[in-house]
Amino acid sequence: MSPTTFRRWMCQSACFEDIEDLKTQLASLTALVKTLTGGEDDEPGEASADEGETAGGEAAEEDPEEEWQYPPFILLLDPPEYDDELRALIEWVEGVLVPGYLAEPSADAKWCHLWWEHPVAIARLHAVWLAWQELTDPASCGYTGPSVWHRDHLDPAMRELRASTGPFAGCTKGEHQIEHRMPSLVPSAWTHAED
């Protein structure tokens, strides 16, 4: 047997063993999950006959608390929800972000004291605030959450907002300018379906 053929045979043999090991591990994990969740022997994708139905054959109503909850995108909210969300955002930005993270504005890093009049700033800062709420909770994010928040959320948002071409480009300490384009129609994918 040539060295090349031997290496090919060894690689195929090792790959086969790896696949068999993975299959065994998957079967073990599947059995463990079924044991822990009290699962039946249904095939994946098959629901048991009782699932989703009550004793009378009616579809069971989902508990609203069990539904997946997600934060709203602030620019899609209508008053008074928008006003409440903006008020909370302003409190966070002015109470946490500005004193803790924003150095004195300069020509290279502008900041508008009326940032809430810039829709782009509202959208970006709201996203940063939502991420902050999630990633500073040690129960859900562990010890690395704050680092992830700085790297993935705060730093990119601040670069965009405070850039020379950002929404605050025309604003100075003494002058405030809003030069943004107003959106025409909201894309249909963003609208709420009527019930």
10-residue averages of pLDDT along the chain (195 residues): 53 56 73 74 48 48 56 84 93 91 74 91 95 87 89 95 89 61 43 48
Give the model's pLDDT for residue 143: 86
Do the beta carbons of residue 82 and residue 143 sit within 8 Å? no
Give the model's pLDDT for residue 84: 92
- Residue 4 corresponds to which tokens in the numbers above? 């090349």
Give the model's pLDDT for residue 132: 92
Please report, to the nearest 10 degrees, the dihedral formed by the alpha carbons of residues 162, 170, 83, 128 taken in order: -10
Please report, to the nearest 10 degrees, the dihedral formed by the alpha carbons of residues 98, 104, 110, 113 taken in order: 50
Give the model's pLDDT for residue 139: 82
% of the chain exceeding 90 in pLDDT: 27
Give the model's pLDDT for residue 4: 55
Give the model's pLDDT for residue 161: 93
* Distance, CA of 147 to CA of 167 (rounded, Å): 26
Give the model's pLDDT for residue 140: 80
Give the model's pLDDT for residue 89: 95
Q: Phi and psi of 42, rounded to 5°?
A: -70, 150
- Residue 138 corresponds to which tokens in the numbers above? 């040690």
